[in-house]
Structure 1
Amino acid sequence: MQEQQNVITPEVVAQGLTYDGYQALVREAVAQGKTTGLEQSDFLAQVTKDNLEIMQRTYQTPLQQDLVDLVQTVTRPQLWLVLTEGWCGDAAVHVPVLAAIAEQSPNIELRTILRSEQPAVMEAYLTNGGKSIPKLIALNAETLQPLGSWGPRPQVLQEYVLELKQQNLPLPEFIKKALGHSEENNGQALQEEFLHLLPHWIRGCMA
């Protein structure tokens, strides 16, 4: 745990973008025929263009009232730092919903950082040994002490993706099926998980 606390420094946080800033970064990349970050290819540029449309849809995801009520009970400042990239389909589906949730409380600040530009943070928050994104790291905003993490997708969608991987599908077909399943869920599984996670993070800020 001590290592994770040291990885996320004020300098790392200062490099983070608001969700609006991240959206603008993705739009600019698409306008230039590129993607975000240090890894560039024609394929990544194309999926980033597709993801921009997904981001615009998923930001409108209806939020459950019980989750909104819970978020509004947050009294100690939290920082939600999200590792992401414009080419990541899971980020396009989930990061806008995370941003919409964070916006329900003046005491939650969401900032995004790029996976390719923050390798030390990514290494500290691997998923089953992989650099899966999006990855949200919840922090005490005053101390940068980690409260917990979430990602890259809700468990029920993670299980579906693992099943898809067993089918050895061509990459475009795999992406289409995985994202289609996630979009059909319409942010509901993510919100259910946050109903369970957020109370722990609230208590962690009180400690």
Structure 2
Amino acid sequence: MTLVIKQERTRYYFCFIKYTIMNPNIDTKLSYNQYRELVSELVENKSTTGNDTSEALVNYTMLNDRRMKRWDKTVKISEEDQARIKSFKGNVTWVVLTESWCGDAAHVVPVLNKIAELNDGIELQLVFRDENEELMNQYLTNGAKSIPKLIMTDNVTQKVVDTYGPRPSEATKLVNDFKAKHGTLSAEFKEDLQRWYNQDKGKTVIKDVLQLLRV
């Protein structure tokens, strides 16, 4: 499959009735490898996904490509946690809303991929937030279109059984505590949050997802 940049890319759509995903055609979504290939192409073409193609978001896409390359190589899952993930007996799809410029997604999505690779009963599919507004609006976080947002669907019943995101639980607490005290996130806090991700090394995402899978 040849992937092209945003302006020429096929748009992806979903049809919703209550909490049932009615269009499971995987050709309209990206695998993780396809997503990584696309982001690399965007970097080469100095572009980005999403409706806003400003220079700032193009630069974030370049930064996130480097972050994902690093996590692809360095994320480690303990043998104990690998065994728990492999013990999951379900048959689910993780549809993850994302954009290439999203800093949280650059840290979270590679870990989700590492987890999904360990169990054939988990299929990871990536879709773009700005191209799936109806879907995104079903899964807002405190009224905001926050990403990455994982929507876990049972492939037998086609029912959405759980969601996850946009941030790992410990990062969410840090953000909420800062907002409660200061109102908005400062540039300094955002830098601190990136350092937290680097120090955490995906461990909180793994812990959270084990709870999501109930294993």
Find 1:50's aligned residue among 49, 58, 63: 63
Tell me, which stretches of 5 or more residues in structure 1 are unaligned? 201-207
Q: Which structure 2 residues correspond to residues 76-87 of structure 1 after superposition, within 5 A?
A: 76-87=90-101
Rounded Cα–Cα distance in structure 1 between residues aligned with 2:26 and 2:163? 16
Whether the 8 Å CA contact 1:67–1:194 is kept in 2: the answer is no
Equivalent residue, structure 2, for 1:192: 207
Equivalent residue, structure 1, for 2:142: 128
| TM-score normalised according to structure 2 size | 0.83
Rounded Cα–Cα distance in structure 1 between residues aligned with 2:123 and 2:184? 39
Q: Which structure 2 residues correspond to residues 24-173 of structure 1 after superposition, within 5 A?
A: 24-59=37-72, 60-165=74-179, 166=182, 168=184, 171=187, 173=188
Rounded Cα–Cα distance in structure 2 between residues aligned with 1:12 and 1:178? 36
Whether the 8 Å CA contact 2:67–2:107 is kept in 1: the answer is yes
Q: Which piece of structure 1 moves more, 55-64 or 114-123? A: 55-64
Whether the 8 Å CA contact 2:175–2:185 is kept in 1: the answer is no
Cα-Cα RMSD: 2.1
Whether the 8 Å CA contact 1:58–1:94 is kept in 2: the answer is no
Summarize deviations over 1:110-137 as a string: whole Å, max 9, x none: 0100001111111001111111100111
Deviation at 1:37, TM superposition (A): 2.8
Q: Which piece of structure 1 moves more, 87-96 or 33-42? A: 33-42
Whether the 8 Å CA contact 1:83–1:133 is kept in 2: the answer is yes
Matched positions, count: 197
| TM-score normalised according to structure 1 size | 0.86
Task: State the one-letter code of the partner of 2:76.
Answer: P
For residues 38 and 144 of structure 1, do their structure 2 counterparts lie closer, same or farther at Cα, with a shift above 3 Å needed?
Answer: farther
Rounded Cα–Cα distance in structure 1 between residues aligned with 2:135 and 2:81? 28
Q: Which piece of structure 1 moves more, 185-194 or 17-26? A: 185-194
Whether the 8 Å CA contact 1:25–1:36 is kept in 2: the answer is no
Q: Which piece of structure 1 moves more, 116-125 or 178-187? A: 178-187
Whether the 8 Å CA contact 1:74–1:107 is kept in 2: the answer is yes
The share of aligned pairs that are identical, in percent, is 34
Counterpart secondary structure, 1:10: coil
Which contiguous aligned blocks of 4+ residues in structure 1 show a shift greater than 6 angstroms?
Answer: none
Deviation at 1:178, TM superposition (A): 1.9
Deviation at 1:192, TM superposition (A): 1.2
Q: Which of the pair is proportionally richer in helix?
A: 1
